[in-house]
Structure 1
């Protein structure tokens, strides 16, 4: 087996798939729409916003290295040498500006004929059927074909889908985003009546867990606005150099009547750091309070403890 250095591996990881195909295999690249591409060999493989997803196989990644290994079946050394050799012959010019031009187009997975597996999955996690039905009825949630992922949709203020996060419902918990997702518009549930309070969570399932706890406590689970972040918020080492989560800032921009923010982030090191950073960065005009789960790692863990559902070790996540 050929030998490659760590430096070669790191260099190969830097090349995204679109750049690789544009420069070295242009015959394989097919424009799907706007800034979304597919490949001539696999038309269900979509490339957009620096990431790729092979929908028919349920795999994806960011780099050309991921593609050569997962799709082409190359070994790591073979893939590294392939990229390294091509780049040595013709170094690519940066295409980042070209890739980011124009509006993003959200590519949602195909819907399955029913939502049974997603409903059962959420019920097993303690989420009340009232909340599940609301999400299904308002098109915030559906079950995808062919992998039966739970698809949580985020809308802009005009009700247009802009973001989708996918959660696997099988034993191996896949976590990913739909191509074209805009992190400014994450999964949220507005208050039934106009409320100045916003509750913030790391995930859609944590948000629904909080709503379930409110419902079980005989409180109005839609009394306030609720927003989930598009993944774990990772501030810079120097907190003052960080910027608040894009989804939070967009929500505050779209709903300027919000004046109070309650943080329900995870009970772990990243969650505590994220909460501290947000509280530091937000304008003093907002009243920000920190209310992590009373027990357990996150809001869903806490809900399970309250309901007496046995906590199981989370399976490995397949994140693309």
Structure 2
């Protein structure tokens, strides 16, 4: 049992077809950027609030029972038991590649507009992103669709955010086939040599509501820095990176990792934090609260 629990998780996930990436002291995957693997033996997925060891990983993500997970891990480590593994985990390699396509657009954007206004985003900011084609309402579920485009203007990523929150938690996810190396961004101003980096599109829009002079900004749509690397590659004039990640533990741990990583690459790194709240949208809503009470 202990042998199964101590399975090397980065090796296991690579074997299962995930794109494993190292960020400082932790590992994560391109498919689940809120996943953190610590000491190569334990994992935690912040977006769902669940974690555990290799056994629980197979139970949660590969539809294995406890005995099947233990059996699979022992076989994976070269210690087969008397009985062969009866079932094989569902892996990324078993699934055909999914072609990316934007969700169909709704006839109007009223629900998305109302939802973002409720979150404190300025009307002008919402319209600016809608007019640029970076934001719209999907026709089926009426989610916010945050679109990421490559340097040619081609849509390559789309993040979804539900317009109905229950207890502060609404639906969120990526459209199948999205490229996590492309982020949600404000079109780059080539005159500026700096870029601000956010976790979520709503945080970027919140900051933009507070500081209209902000010109270059990218939302990673998670904590994986692929979108930042792409942004820097496409805009070589950028010399300064301002990290505006969330104030919770994963956000600040990632900020420290990115600070070290990009400082070593020669960038000037700084961090800008909201004066209160967990993130920029929470801070914006607190700022707006007195106005709503009038």
Contact 1:118–1:169 at 8 Å: present in 2 too? yes
CA–CA separation in structure 1 for the residues paired with 2:91 and 2:277:
45
In the alignment, what sits opposite 1:239?
A: none
Which stretches in structure 2 are left out of the alignment for 5+ residues?
Answer: 18-29, 33-56, 73-83
CA-CA distance at 1:105 after TM superposition: 2.9
CA–CA separation in structure 2 for the residues paired with 1:175 and 1:156:
22
Q: Is 2:232 aligned against 1:252?
A: yes
- Of the three residues 151, 160, 164, the one matched with 1:157 is 151
- Of the three residues 173, 178, 184, the one matched with 2:175 is 178
CA–CA separation in structure 1 for the residues paired with 2:135 and 2:281:
18
For normalisation by structure 2, the TM-score amounts to: 0.67
In the alignment, what sits opposite 2:241?
A: 261
Contact 1:110–1:144 at 8 Å: present in 2 too? yes
Contact 1:108–1:179 at 8 Å: present in 2 too? no
For normalisation by structure 1, the TM-score amounts to: 0.62
CA-CA distance at 1:64 after TM superposition: 10
CA-CA distance at 1:122 after TM superposition: 0.4
Contact 2:62–2:89 at 8 Å: present in 1 too? no
Q: Is 2:289 aligned against 1:308?
A: yes
CA-CA distance at 1:65 after TM superposition: 7.4
In the alignment, what sits opposite 1:229?
A: 220
CA–CA separation in structure 2 for the residues paired with 1:117 and 1:107:
22
In the alignment, what sits opposite 1:122?
A: 116
- Of the three residues 286, 296, 306, the one matched with 2:277 is 296
CA–CA separation in structure 1 for the residues paired with 2:256 and 2:277:
19
Q: Show CA shifts across 1:69-110 (max 9, x none).
A: 8xxxxxx869x79xx9xx8457589873x869x8x7312222
Contact 1:185–1:247 at 8 Å: present in 2 too? yes
CA-CA distance at 1:166 after TM superposition: 0.3
Runs (4+) off by over 3 Å: 63-69, 87-96
CA-CA distance at 1:230 after TM superposition: 2.4
Decide whether aligned partners of structure 1 residues 143 and 66 sit closer, same or farther in structure 2, where only a CA change above 3 A counts: farther
CA-CA distance at 1:292 after TM superposition: 1.5
CA–CA separation in structure 1 for the residues paired with 2:227 and 2:31:
19
CA–CA separation in structure 1 for the residues paired with 2:258 and 2:129:
28
Where 2:183 maps in the other structure, the secondary structure is coil
CA-CA distance at 1:289 after TM superposition: 0.4
Count the aligned residue pairs: 233
CA RMSD of aligned residues (A): 3.9
Where 2:181 maps in the other structure, the secondary structure is coil
CA–CA separation in structure 2 for the residues paired with 1:66 and 1:284:
37
- Of the three residues 165, 185, 191, the one matched with 1:188 is 185
